[in-house]
Structures are given as C-alpha cells and as structure tokens.
Structure 1
Amino acid sequence: MRPGRQLAVLAGLFVLLYLIVFLGGSGSWHNRLHPRLGLDLVGGLQMTLEAQGKAPSSTELEQARQIIEDRVNGYGVAEAEVVTESNKNIVISIPGNDSTNLNDVGQPAQMYFRKVLNVTQDYADALAAATASPSASTSAKPSASTSAKPSTSASAKPSTAASASPKASASTGGQGGGAAASASASPAPSASAAPSTSASPEPVLDPEDAAAQAKVKAKVGDAAWNAAMALTAPVDLSTDPSGAAPFANFAKLTPNEVAILPAKMQFNVPQIGCTALDKRPIGSINKADQQVVACDSGAKEMLDVAKVKGTDIGSAQAVAPNSQQPEWTVSLKFKGDGQDKWTNLTKESVNKTGATCETAALGGTKQNCRVAVVLDNQVISAPEILDVLSDNSSITGNFTSDTATDLANKLNYGALPITFKADQAVHVTATLGQAQLKAGLLAAGIGMLLVAVYAFFYYRLLGTVIFLSLILSGLLTFGMLVVLGRTMGFTLTLAGIAGFIVSLGVAADSFVIYFERLKDEIREGKTPRSAVPRAWVRARRTIITANTVSIMAAVVLFLFSAGAVKGFAFALGLATLIDLIVVFLFRHPIMAMFARTNAFLSPRVSGLGRVLHQQNEDDDEAAPGETRRYRAKEA
C-alpha cells in the first residue's frame, strides 16, 4: 500500500473542516471555535403552557406537544425539550437566553382568508372617555373622519398612527398577473423576553352555551339586547351622536363576554370596540362557516365566511429582502384544490360576486373587494384584490426576520388543537450542569491519562499510534460539533458528552483488536513487516462489525427516543463514524509506515518485545535450512 495517499486525504479533510470552522463563523476566534451548548451547560428558559377550558384528551395533548416541538425546532433550536405535564400542561425548555420566539410557539395559528364585507368606525374609546368625563364633551361624537374606509392604493402604504402597539402594513400578491394594494395590519407576534405571569384568566365562554348567553343578556338588559338585535347597520354617531345611548350597558362586557355575542351585534353596537375585540380569547373567530368581526387599522371589519383556510397552504417560507421586494415577506404555496379556492376567492373579489361588499369596504384603486388574511384573532393584512390571482401569493409588510419566520413556522407546522396560556416562564441557571461538566471532563482527562500511560507501558511505539489517533479523533469531533451547531443546530449537552466518552471505548477496542491480531501473526511465524498488512486484513472485518453495531444502536436510540437520550445517540453515532475514518485514513497507514522503520523491529521499542523474542528463539532452535526456507518464503 501507499500510506502517504491515505494520510494526504485525511490531512485534506482536516484542513477543509477547520477552514469551514474559521471562515464560516463570525466574531472573535474564540467565538468561532465555540460549539452550541445545551440548557444544562449554559442555562436557558423554561415555559409552561396551560391548556384552557376542559382538560384535553391524551391524543390532543400529544398532538399539540408534537406541533409545538416542530415549531421550536423550526427556529433552529436543537436539544429543546418539549414534554407533557399532568393532563393539561406542556413544558418547553430551550437553551440560551434568547426568548424572542418563546411566547409564540403556543399560539393556535389558525389562518383564514375572508372577504371584507363592511367597515365601521370604532367609537368605543371616545364613548368611554365621554362617559368618564361628561364635562369634557357634550356629545360622544368622535373627532375622527366620518368615513371608516381604509386608505388603500396599489403602491403606497397607509400612514401608521402612533400607538402603544406598532402596526405593520402588509399586502398579498401573486405571479398570475394580479397585484394587491397594501393595507395596514395588526401587529406581529410579541417579542417580549418572557411571557406574563399574571393570574389565571377568566374561563373561556362557549358561544353555543345557552346559559352563558343568558348571563350576558341579563348583564346588558333586555331593552339593550333587543335594540342591538334590531340593528341592521352600524350606528353612525357622526350623524346621530345620541344613537349610542340605548346600548350603554354593552360597555360593561368583558372581552370573553363580547366573544359570545352574534357577529352582527359585535359589528353594529358602537360600545363594542377594538380594545375588547382584540382581547377576545384565541380561537373566538375560528369557525370557517360563520361571518366574524375583527379589527384592522383601528376600524371594525365584518368578514365573510372563510373560503380559503390555512390548511389549504402547502408551505410557507420567510423570504429575506431582495432587489424586487425590500421587505421581509412570507411566501405561500397552496396545495391540492387550495390553489383553485384561492383563485375563486380573488375572482369573486374582483367581480364583486357572492356576499356583497359595502362601499366602505372596497379598495381605493379599482374599487374591488378586499380580502383579509386572519391569523387567530388578528388581521395580518386586508388588501384590495386588483386582479384574479392564479398562482402562489405572499404576505408582505413590516415583518422582521423573527416575525416572518414565526408566521411561516406556524403555517408550516399546523394549528394547535388546544388553546394554551403561557402560565409561567423561568430562567434556568447552568450552575449544576457546569459543575457536572467540570467533574466529567476531569474524570475523562484522568481516564485518558491512564489509558495513555498504560498504552505506552504495554505497547510502547504502538502506544504512540493510540495517542495520536485519539488526539486526531478529538480534533475532528470538535470541528464537527462547531459546524453542525451552525448548520443544523446541534447542541452539546451532558448527555452528548457522555456519548462521546462512551465512543472512546469503541475506539480503544479497535486498537486492541488490531494490535493483538498483529501479535498473533508474528507468533505464527510472520516477520513484523509482513504481519502488519496481514493483521489489518484480518482485524478490519472485526473492527467494521463492532463499529457498525455501535452505529446501529445509536440510530435506533435516535429514532425512538427524545430529549437527552436523542443527544446521547447522535453524539455516539457521530464519534463512531469519525473513529472509522481515523482507522482507515490514519491508523493503518501510520502502522504501515512504522513497519518500515528499524525501531519497529526492535523488541524494546516496538512494544512487540515478547513475541519478537519468542520468534527469535524459535529461529535459533530451527535447523539452518528451515530458517533459510522460512525467510525465503517470507521474502
């Protein structure tokens, strides 16, 4: 063989790996050599999601757990633990201190595309202010424009009013020749550092619960209820400031109670405003076959039944800004008959067929109907549909990288079958994990030192091969940890470190197999130089078999386990594969090179002392002719 070739290939792999490590990272050299560490090593965040309403079934809870785990993994968070607790809680643990997206993983994320039928002004805040300070105003007439029609255009974005919660403009467009005007959208999911730990919310009321509806009716009174039921259009206080008086008791309702009111009542009664509508429980407007009310740009919108659902979306992807689109967008691809449904909805909006779009709800470019993209209770965008869209579409607006990725993940990984509330979020320190890591590394170091001492004592020159192989395996493993942490989010935990330590035993076994096979060959009468390739051929199959068994065990553990066990299995399999590479590209070639040196033939240096002495004694006892024939045969 030509050992230089194998060693050159190994050197090339080593150089390539560390070029990726150094050139593919950012920051200081220390940061570029820093692998991703898990929750037990660097600390992190732990959040508990509590199911609302009646306790879900075990099937529903497990389905929700899997969707949440997929969403967490969609952010590139590896080694995250998502587990069920009791019969209604899900606990999420993620390493590090970046909780930007932790609040959002428990959102239901049900998306519907609904045609905007009508728009009316939100008078609730002005009415509340007038009631609180009667002397401040003699009427409840708001100073806002009498027209509730939002400003839309094919290219210009509406101005964003100053408020406590930012708004993002969004639009929907396609490649089928159509375009959509931009319209303001509700804010993207919150990016607060940790969820609120406020007291448990009031129970979610069921709109179909007759007893709950009776209580709400009793709270507002029969007169106000009957007056609201008789309304056929929103009360316009700009022309009749006293028109709100009969409905004053509706201002007493909580968001939960507002959620069970009929949609027309929510839309027509002036005391019901966006503050209450936006705080309705998640899932309040998720019935696709019913008209619903939602808010957009501070105005109430009556929305038609959902003609296209989130389940009609095949895939969603966050798209970074580019030369054609200077903002983050979420690209949508429909699946099956979803594309036909979307085309028919845009055709209905352009041709003004189906449910009637009132003048106040029309867009301002071609006076076509608008379509609202509704995620849970929030209107993401409500653009005018300028032309029939027969291809994929996208949602654009003032998205950031995080909010666009969050929306895409929710659409890709489905809607949760259960409504959750973020019960608590706590920071987890890594003090215990770091102490265990130090103790484990100390123990591993002592063990490696003892192995090295024993190897040099028992194998001498061959011990150098063991030592160099372990060092090289360690460097290759470390480089792979850094690269995998950047590319696929692999996170190193205590369990992973245990997997790497266990793999050292597999590597040590392969040394023993090879060296003892080498001794057997010499005992059988082979010279040391000829024994090296013969021992390799016989030991190779055993080494491959042993490593294959370890890899198979790692694969089974990885596929059928979760959490820390999965990390252990991945680390064990990775380290075993690297050991095989080192065996073929370093251990055998370096042994072939050593076999050509005089030191390898020396009993004192090679580590083959006893078997070489035994061979020399056998040669001395043999007849001269036999010895010559043996050496001729070996030659």
Structure 2
Amino acid sequence: MARPPQGQMHPGRQLAVLGLLFAILYVLVFWGPGTKGLGYEERLHPKLGLDLIGGTQATYRASLLANGQVPSQQSMEESRKIIDQRVNALGVAEAEVVIEGNQNIVVSVAGKANDQLKNVGQAAQMRFRMVLGANGDTADSVMNPQAAAPSTAPSGSPAPSASAGKGAAASAAPSASTGGQGGGELAPSPSVSPSAEPTPAPSASAAAPAPVTADIKEQRAAIEKKVGKAAWEAAEKLTAPVDTTTDTTAANIYKPFNALNSAEVNALTPEMQFYVPTISCTQLDGRPSGAIDDEKSKVVSCQTGAKLLMDVAKVLGTDIDTASPQLDQQSQWVVSLDFTSSGQAKWTALTREAFQPAADSPCLTAAAALSSGATHCLVAVVLDKEVISAPEIQGVLSGQSQISGSFDATSAKELADQIKYGALPVTFTPLSSETVSATLGIAQLEAGLLAAAIGLGLVAIYSFFYYRLLGSVIFLSLLLSGLLTFGALVVLGRTTGFTLTLAGIAGFIVSLGVAADSFVIYFERLKDEIHEGRSARSAVPRAWARARRTIISANTITIMCAVVLYIVSIGAVKGFAFALGLSTVLDLVVVFLFRHPIMTMFANTKAFMSPRVSGLGRALKRQPTEKEA
C-alpha cells in the first residue's frame, strides 16, 4: 500500500477519529445526562414534538385593567413573545404559544410538562425596595390569645447581608424560599469593592399616595361596611403598629379585619395592611399576582413571619441587563445580575442610601428589629408579590451583584430566566392545564419515515447501478451520517430539550440532497482526473484536493442559510432550519473522516482498477496511452 502524501493524515487515523467520535456520542446516548432510571430501549428514543406524540396545553387568562377594559392587542402580543421566550428557555423547543380571543394565551408543548409550565405566566416583576418598617405577624395571637406563642414580634435574628468588600462572599443563611424559586440573599460579586469616598445619603423618600380609582373607593366602602365604622376609623388613624405586649385588649377593635379575604385586603392602603395587627401574612400572601407591582407606591409583604413595610421601588427589573445562573467560589448556585448603565447608577444610589442613611431614618429601626446589631438599612428584593430576601447592605455596590441562597441548578436557571426575559405587561391567571392528542400523529411519522426509507433505497440502488464499488461508499456514508444524526438527536433532546417534529424530519431529508451533491462532485472530478491521463491511484488525492473546496463552499452556504432561517423564523420553520444545519455539519464530518480516507484505501486495491467493478468504467477504458499523453 502506498504512503499518503506528506502532510496528509493516514486514512486509518481519520477512520479512528471517526470511530472515537461515534464512541463518545453513543456513550452519551446510553450513559449520559438524563439517562438515570431509563431502560436501554428508552435511551434510544429521541424527544418527539407535539405534532407527533401530543403533549400538554395550558391556558392563561389576562386580568382586566384598572379601568375594567381588556388588555390591548399590543400588550397581549408582547406577553406572548415573552412567554414564548420563557418556555423555550426552560428547554422546551418548538412550543406553540398563541393568543386565543382577546384575553387568553394558550401554551402547548410536547409530552407532560405541567411542572415546566407552572410559572411561565407569572408576572415576575422584580423590584428593589428599602425596608422602612418590620412588624411581627400578630394576627393569630390577637384572634386566639390562649393558643398564642409567647412572642410574636420579629425574632431579631441576624438578617442576610450584602457586603461589598473585595473577596467577600455571602455571609448569611438563605432566606425563606419563594414559589419554588429558592430562598435568596443579595450579595455583591466577590470582585466588587465599595466606593472609596462616602457620599452623604438622602433620607428615604416619601411615597406619594397611590391614586384612588372609583373601583377602589367602592371596595373600601364595602370593606368599611363589613368591618364596621369604629374598626375602620381606628385603622385609618394608625401611624404605628399596635403594641399588644402591654395591653392585650388594644387590638380587639381590629378583629373584624381578620375576616377579610385577600382581594379585600389588597384594596386597603399599605399603612393599614402593615399597622392593623389582625391582618395576617396569610391574607397578604393570598393577594393576586402583581398586587404590589406599582413602583411609585409603598407596599407591604411578608418574609419569615414578619410584615415588612417597603419604600417606593428605586430599582426595577428592567434596570437589569442580564441575569444568569452561576457557581460561586463556594460551588453554590447563585443568580448573577448585571445592570444596565442607567440601572447601575440607580442601584449604586440605592445601596449608598441604605449604607449611609440619615440618623432618623425609619429604615434603621426596621433593620434593628429584624437583625440585632444592624447598623445599615435593609433592601428587599421583591419578585412579583413575594420577598426573595431582605439583606442588610454593607457597602456601596457599584458592580455586578448576585442573588444567592438555597438554589440548585434548576431553580437558579428558572429565576434567572424569569428576570432575563422581562416582566409581562399583563397579569395572567392560570385557567387550565390538560393533555392534548397528537395533531398529526404517529401514523404520519411512520408515513414520513417510510417515504424517507424509499428515497434512500432508490438512492442506494441508483448509486450501485451507476457507480458500482463507489456506490458502497455512498451507502456507507449515508448510513454513518444517519447514525450520527440519530445519536445527536437523542443527546440534544435530553440535554437541550430539542424536539423532533415532522418539519425537522423534512430538514433531514432535504439534507440528503446536499450529501448527494458532494458525492457527484467528488466522483465526477475523479473521472475528469482519469480522463486527463492520470492513474486511478494518483487521481484520487488530486480529485479530492480539487473537489474539497467546492464541497466545503456548498455545505457552508447551506449552513449559513440554515442559521439565518433559524434566527428569523419561529415554530416549525425553526425546527426545519436546525435539522438542516445539523445534518449538513454532520455530513461534512463524514466527508472528511470517512469518505476521503475510504476512497484512499480503495484506490490501492485491484478491484478499484477494474472498469467493471470500480464504477469508473469508461473513464478507465478511455485512459490515454503514454504515446497519446
């Protein structure tokens, strides 16, 4: 066997690289991520799309606006796009997200995905608010004094902190978890240093009263009638929490407020929600999503059994440029936040205000109530209507920050995606979640695969008829490409959520045409080299060198088209583009690691020199003699 030209890899080594690639791929197929608990047959199943196996359909209804009108079509379309981004970020590819009527959004995904869809319609509006007051949840002790715990005031245990010292890390235990997001505390990036020159901080700004609409006036009038005029007037006059430690009967007049439902509590002023001792955290937590989203108003929420009165929101979720799950220096999952340029200025100003408060600022009293020995104010991180954390700010934060706590990889990614893909302009309420049947079904899948098999069979028959021995190269190349593609589909389905739909299958079938073109280019170039008087052995490397550029160019154009189509398209078309691009890339791998080396090996066999066997036929017969050359 002749040696390959200098600088060219030995064909055996190229085939060995291909074999190693196959070994790695199928190790991932059988023993890679997501295979735990699956049988060996189940591990060979790619993730199929909604049109093939059916799936889960969830419906979300948009809440009416304050004026009683339905949301605008523009708001609904913006919500649809954000929900589509969230669903795909959760690893669900090619989900169908459509607007139904003027108030509903319907999300359909392949397979059982109830858990994946439970949070996609949440408002997920993040607010950063300074804590102005902290009061224990005393409702149970007032309503049931005999069964009350000895103490209902805030415990005074250390609160989480946010330090800005260089090399610092989160120093406190995580706070209570919120809606499956995991608890959290706000801490700076370990590389962030505090501002070197302290700047006088302004006092906490007073919030302007929220505008009272006619609807709210009617609700409050109904509530006043329900609790009684005496209780209502007493609640309106409160300017501080009721002290029940010295007079256990002082809160009795407010007992009717404990009978209000969460929607009625939501209609009260923040001061009444906070000061009235019989309004419990259970009532506050039951308020609808988006209840405390108004960034221009003070709000009340609960954390670990304490009611928190919070200032206007001076930093919003829209001030965050990006959010991503990361592992910190202690190998704990955190959500890293990078602010926009204007958002960073707001965040730095807020942390400066909390780190250097005025001596009479109410935030210091609140901090002392929640954390014994606290000397700086707390900033609450509020997602939707729940407090993720209320850490003590221990420095002026002028760089990247992190939300840390009891996160795992899944919960950290879920929270990061909700923040990253923005707040919904409309508040949604889940209506239903149900299983739907396949829109096209397994019968159509089988028909499509049968058509593909017939097409491949015809290509193989024609290849063996026209190219003979070279036809085996075509057949083996297509077989290897198919095995690579199948393995990639299985692995991608388990690791990235890629789902195979009929559109994707169409993309793979179209790629066969690209593969066939590369065969024709190579083999016809080989015939041209032989026609020019070269032996079959010397013609193979020369034909490869000249055909390689054309093959690479043609495949590159196809890949570029697939990428562009993937970027600008949605839904099934996106799946078609991804499948076309993936199969074209894998075809290039087979071209370089199998087709060329196997042709080099065939060129050194006697069969290859036979016109009848090789498939070169007339080219070898018409090869010019030395005299003609």
Task: Say whether 1:302 aligns with 2:300.
Answer: no
- Unaligned regions of 5+ residues in structure 1, if any? 131-139, 155-169, 192-205, 620-626
The Cα shift of 1:107 comes to: 1.4
What is the match of residue 363 of structure 2?
357
CA contact 1:329–1:399 (8 Å) conserved in 2: yes
Aligned residue among 175, 180, 186 for 1:189: 180
Distance in 2, Cα, partners of 1:402 & 1:304: 32
Aligned residue among 39, 62, 72 for 1:51: 62
What is the match of residue 264 of structure 2?
257
CA contact 1:151–1:183 (8 Å) conserved in 2: no
What is the match of residue 209 of structure 1?
213
Task: Say whether 1:277 aligns with 2:288.
Answer: no
Distance in 2, Cα, partners of 1:76 & 1:229: 50
Task: Say whether 1:478 aligns with 2:475.
Answer: no
The Cα shift of 1:467 comes to: 1.0
CA contact 1:173–1:395 (8 Å) conserved in 2: no
Q: TM-score, normalised by structure 1?
A: 0.79
Query: What is the 5 A alignment of 1:78-477?
Result: 78-125=93-140, 143-146=148-151, 148-153=153-158, 172-176=162-166, 182=173, 184-189=175-180, 208-221=212-225, 222-320=229-327, 324=330, 328-336=333-341, 338-353=343-358, 355-357=361-363, 359=365, 361-362=367-368, 363-368=370-375, 369-386=377-394, 392-429=400-437, 433-477=441-485
What is the match of residue 601 of structure 1?
609
What is the match of residue 629 of structure 1?
627
Distance in 2, Cα, partners of 1:65 & 1:564: 17
Distance in 2, Cα, partners of 1:361 & 1:111: 21
Distance in 2, Cα, partners of 1:334 & 1:244: 44
What is the match of residue 575 of structure 2?
567
CA contact 1:149–1:361 (8 Å) conserved in 2: no
Structure 1 residues 326-385: Cα deviation after superposition (integer angstroms, max 9, x where no partner)? x54334344435445444444444444274137465243423333322111111122334
Q: Which amino acid aligns with 2:82?
A: I
CA contact 1:123–1:270 (8 Å) conserved in 2: yes
Q: Which amino acid aligns with 1:209?
A: T
CA contact 2:322–2:339 (8 Å) conserved in 1: yes
The Cα shift of 1:317 comes to: 3.4
Distance in 2, Cα, partners of 1:4 & 1:246: 90
Task: Give SS of 1:553's match.
Answer: helix
CA contact 2:164–2:395 (8 Å) conserved in 1: no
Percent identity over paired residues:
55
Structure 1 residues 577-632: Cα deviation after superposition (integer angstroms, max 9, x where no partner)? 3323433443344334434433233333223445656x38xx8xxxxxxx5512xx
Distance in 1, Cα, partners of 2:327 & 2:539: 61
CA contact 1:171–1:395 (8 Å) conserved in 2: no
The Cα shift of 1:571 comes to: 1.0
Structure 1 residues 168-220: Cα deviation after superposition (integer angstroms, max 9, x where no partner)? xx6645445697655743533389xxxxxxxxxxxxxx973224323422342
Task: Give SS of 1:357's match.
Answer: helix
CA contact 1:186–1:378 (8 Å) conserved in 2: no
The Cα shift of 1:8 comes to: 2.5
CA contact 2:503–2:572 (8 Å) conserved in 1: yes
Task: Give SS of 1:422's match.
Answer: strand
Distance in 2, Cα, partners of 1:404 & 1:551: 34
What is the match of residue 49 of structure 2?
38
CA contact 2:125–2:383 (8 Å) conserved in 1: yes
Task: Give SS of 1:217's match.
Answer: helix
Q: TM-score, normalised by structure 2?
A: 0.80
Q: Which amino acid aligns with 2:445?
A: L
Q: How many residues align?
A: 580
Distance in 1, Cα, partners of 2:313 & 2:421: 20
Distance in 2, Cα, partners of 1:311 & 1:150: 34
Distance in 2, Cα, partners of 1:283 & 1:251: 22
The Cα shift of 1:555 comes to: 2.6
Structure 1 residues 10-62: Cα deviation after superposition (integer angstroms, max 9, x where no partner)? 53144135325416715476666554443444554322222111433333223
Compared with structure 1, are the counterparts of its residues 332 and 459 closer, same or farther at alpha carbon in structure 2 (3 Å cutoff)?
Answer: closer
CA contact 1:179–1:386 (8 Å) conserved in 2: no
Compared with structure 1, are the counterparts of its residues 594 and 256 closer, same or farther at alpha carbon in structure 2 (3 Å cutoff)?
Answer: same
What is the match of residue 622 of structure 1?
none
CA contact 1:172–1:395 (8 Å) conserved in 2: no
CA contact 1:174–1:391 (8 Å) conserved in 2: no
What is the match of residue 134 of structure 1?
none
The Cα shift of 1:417 comes to: 1.4
CA contact 1:175–1:391 (8 Å) conserved in 2: no
Distance in 1, Cα, partners of 2:408 & 2:546: 60
Compared with structure 1, are the counterparts of its residues 383 and 596 closer, same or farther at alpha carbon in structure 2 (3 Å cutoff)?
Answer: closer
Query: What is the 5 A alignment of 1:496-515?
Result: 496-515=504-523
Compared with structure 1, are the counterparts of its residues 335 and 141 closer, same or farther at alpha carbon in structure 2 (3 Å cutoff)?
Answer: farther
Compared with structure 1, are the counterparts of its residues 628 and 522 closer, same or farther at alpha carbon in structure 2 (3 Å cutoff)?
Answer: closer
Aligned residue among 14, 20, 41 for 1:15: 20
The Cα shift of 1:419 comes to: 0.9
Instruction: Give the number of the structure whose alpha-carbon radius of gyration is greater.
Output: 1
CA contact 1:153–1:364 (8 Å) conserved in 2: yes
Q: Which amino acid aligns with 1:415?
A: A
> Which deviates more, 426-435 or 278-287?
426-435
CA contact 2:323–2:337 (8 Å) conserved in 1: yes
Task: Give SS of 2:108's match.
Answer: strand
What is the match of residue 195 of structure 1?
none
Task: Say whether 1:25 aligns with 2:32.
Answer: yes
Compared with structure 1, are the counterparts of its residues 238 and 184 closer, same or farther at alpha carbon in structure 2 (3 Å cutoff)?
Answer: farther
Distance in 2, Cα, partners of 1:117 & 1:91: 40
CA contact 1:84–1:90 (8 Å) conserved in 2: yes
Distance in 2, Cα, partners of 1:426 & 1:287: 33
Compared with structure 1, are the counterparts of its residues 57 and 8 closer, same or farther at alpha carbon in structure 2 (3 Å cutoff)?
Answer: farther
Task: Say whether 1:60 aligns with 2:97.
Answer: no
Compared with structure 1, are the counterparts of its residues 275 and 597 closer, same or farther at alpha carbon in structure 2 (3 Å cutoff)?
Answer: same
Compared with structure 1, are the counterparts of its residues 454 and 181 closer, same or farther at alpha carbon in structure 2 (3 Å cutoff)?
Answer: closer
CA contact 1:219–1:249 (8 Å) conserved in 2: no
Structure 1 residues 222-273: Cα deviation after superposition (integer angstroms, max 9, x where no partner)? 5543332222222334444444454455345432232222111111223322
Distance in 2, Cα, partners of 1:360 & 1:547: 65
Structure 1 residues 135-189: Cα deviation after superposition (integer angstroms, max 9, x where no partner)? xxxxx577234552233227xxxxxxxxxxxxxxx66454456976557435333
